[in-house]
Copies of this chain bind each other. A is one copy, B any other.
Amino acid sequence: MKGIPYTTKWLDFTDVEPEIKKFGLPPNERGALKHTVPTIYDPNTRRAITEAFKINLYLEDQYPDTFSLLPKGTRALQAAFSPTFGKLLDTMLGSVVVSIYNEASERDKPHVRTTREAWFGMKLEDIPPQGERLEETVKLWEELLSDIGNWIDAGEPGALYLGGDAPVQADVDVVSVFLFLFRTAPKDHALLKSLENVSGGRWMKYLEAFSKWTA
């Protein structure tokens, strides 16, 4: 989105920690895992940066003339949005862990099973919500979508994004959850149906607006 050239190195789950350790990065301050993606290495400055928000701040400082996802005056407000992003992600995560496990490489499968079973406190196969638990999940998901939609509508008239006329990091967070769901959820999953259908399909328009970057 900033127009900075890059290449992506995809890693098996199993390789994330040893590969990122090579950059000499200290372990994460928070979270269950010591080293995580996204992590970037910038050959211009020979610096490695980990964690999405820190990467974003680094890119803003290092490449100030590129499109900004953290415009001045929005950074604290965007940080204040992060709990909503966390809730949105947490709400859909349980529905996709089995798909992630099934698509994982054979060497990754034990890692995926062990970490997810520890996080959710249950057997992997029991994590995806069903029946009443699924209904509650869909209800919470739709409430979150409704809140975010209402906030966008309370902003500039006709604006599409939390950032107004242009997307900001908070929008990228939201759209990333949607893309994650599309990429990993079973095709007929209730959360996907709801994302496609609620609020007259506004979230499909939102995704469409991002297609120039996500293609």
Chain A residues proximal to chain B, CB less than 8 Å: 53, 71-81, 83-84, 147-148, 150-152, 154-156, 159, 161-166, 168, 170
Contact = CB atoms under 8 A, between A and B. Distances in A.
B156 A72 contact: yes
Chain A binding site: helix, strand, loop or mixed by DSSP?
Answer: helix
A134 to B, nearest CB: 25
B77 A163 contact: yes
A52 to B, nearest CB: 12
Contacts of A150: 79
A163 B75 CA distance: 8
Given A80-B80, A80-B81, A80-B84, A73 B163 contact: yes
A214 B108 CA distance: 59
A73 B154 contact: no
A205 to B, nearest CB: 16
Contacts of A161: 76
Contacts of A168: 73, 77
B75 A156 contact: yes
